[in-house]
């Protein structure tokens, strides 16, 4: 029994250490491919701006839907080349408010369309897919209800699609209320680590990275060739991202373009968000990793994708590590565990813990 306990503890520690080493790897990629490399030169402005559909999926967003619409109709883009879809699946009083706001914007000369469904089949993925059926635009920009895209958003992102290989352009999330509380400050720190370090490192090194569900623009053809929006995972954005890249489409991350957003201010909303992201990523891993491993992609892309999609397992491993720590101490005593082995364990744990501090310190 002591041997089994100690073996389980060491296995958990080894797996945690691998995820910790991966943070160092991301920092190395970030340094090599971004900090030491010149920034991407802005692409030329197209001779004629292409048609863009802006999709705004909302659900019971009474207090922010007007702010969202105000920001989107203020986008600096030819009016005859842009249409806006308010994809409203609301079930409360915001449903009537959305109708009033859309009528007002249309009266002001904006091409805004209200799309309301009788059911929420497919949730956000279903709403986006339903909206696509009503659009003939070549490009689709997506913003969640708590985002405020800057006026020059489209004119800074659309030119990058001059490269016919680009299927999606993702921008960096900003934080309107980062200083509201300790919770929002921590969220801002975690998100900056994800965008500034992970997205930059993966994108610049040629690995797969993902559309974050908002503050990005898709080429319609990339969505269609990947099979469209699916609702069989909780993270439809991550799912579509991997399917599109497996089809050969390239993605681009532009950290210099900031799209401000409001962070959840209560622990309940934050917990629900994290649960959705964690479970959804593992669902996507189960769905796409077998296909990815069988593909002719470089081993680096395959390995990085596997770590990316399973990274949330580190939280479960941390819980198991804490649960096994005390029993492992008793097992060491029973087995006469040598001091040098214990010292090696301590080094592995320290390096893993330090990787977290270093990672988010650099992001900050």
Instruction: Give me the active site residues, please.
Output: 89, 237
Of the CA atoms within 13 Å of residue 270, those in its CB half-sphere come to 16
Q: Which two tokens stand for residue 266?
A: 């209560």
Nearest partner of 315 among 278, 273, 360, judged by Cα: 278
Nearest partner of 60 among 145, 165, 167, judged by Cα: 145
Over 174-185, what HEC string results? EECCCCCCHHHH
Place of tokens 């492992």: 328
**Ordered alpha helix ranges (H), the chain:** 2-30, 65-73, 94-107, 123-132, 153-157, 182-192, 200-205, 220-225, 236-246, 267-294, 299-310, 313-335, 339-363
Q: How far is CA 45 from CA 50, 162, 171, in A?
A: 11, 9, 18
Of the CA atoms within 13 Å of residue 197, those in its CB half-sphere come to 22
Nearest partner of 141 among 103, 66, 199, 85, judged by Cα: 85
In angstroms, the CA 170 to CA 303 distance is 22
Of the CA atoms within 13 Å of residue 35, those in its CB half-sphere come to 12
**What is the H or E stretch that residue 115 is in?**
strand 112-116
Q: How far is CA 96 from the centre of its chain?
A: 31
């Amino acid at each position: 029994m002591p041997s089994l306990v100690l073996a389980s503890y060491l296995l958990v520690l080894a797996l945690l250490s691998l995820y910790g080493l991966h943070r160092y790897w991301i920092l190395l990629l970030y340094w090599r491919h971004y900090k030491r490399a010149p920034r991407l030169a802005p692409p030329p402005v197209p001779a004629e701006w292409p048609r863009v559909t802006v999709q705004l999926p909302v659900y019971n967003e009474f207090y922010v839907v007007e702010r969202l619409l105000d920001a989107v109709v203020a986008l600096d883009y030819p009016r005859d080349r842009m249409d806006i879809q308010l994809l409203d699946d609301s079930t409360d009083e915001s449903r009537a408010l959305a109708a009033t706001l859309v009528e007002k914007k249309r009266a002001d000369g904006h091409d805004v369309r209200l799309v309301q469904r009788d059911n929420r089949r497919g949730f956000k993925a279903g709403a986006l897919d339903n909206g696509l059926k009503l659009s003939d635009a070549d490009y689709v920009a997506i913003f969640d209800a708590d985002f405020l895209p800057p006026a020059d958003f489209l004119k800074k992102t659309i030119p990058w699609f001059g490269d016919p290989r680009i299927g999606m352009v993702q921008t960096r999330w900003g934080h309107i209320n980062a200083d509201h509380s300790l919770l929002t400050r921590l969220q801002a720190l975690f998100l900056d680590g994800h965008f500034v370090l992970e997205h930059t490192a993966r994108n610049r090194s040629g690995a797969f990275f993902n559309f974050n569900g908002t503050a990005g623009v898709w080429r319609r053809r990339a969505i269609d060739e990947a099979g469209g929006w699916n609702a069989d995972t909780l993270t439809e954005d991550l799912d579509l991202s991997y399917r599109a890249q497996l089809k050969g489409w390239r993605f681009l991350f532009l950290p210099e373009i900031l799209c401000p957003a409001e962070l959840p201010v209560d622990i309940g909303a934050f917990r629900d968000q994290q649960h959705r992201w964690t479970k959804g990523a593992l669902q996507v891993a189960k769905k796409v990793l077998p296909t990815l491993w069988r593909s002719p992609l470089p081993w680096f892309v395959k390995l990085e994708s596997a770590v990316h999609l399973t990274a949330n397992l580190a939280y479960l491993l941390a819980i198991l590590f804490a649960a096994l720590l005390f029993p492992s101490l008793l097992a060491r005593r029973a087995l006469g565990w040598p001091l040098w082995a214990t010292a090696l364990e301590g080094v592995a744990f320290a390096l893993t813990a330090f990787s977290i501090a270093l990672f988010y310190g650099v992001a900050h």
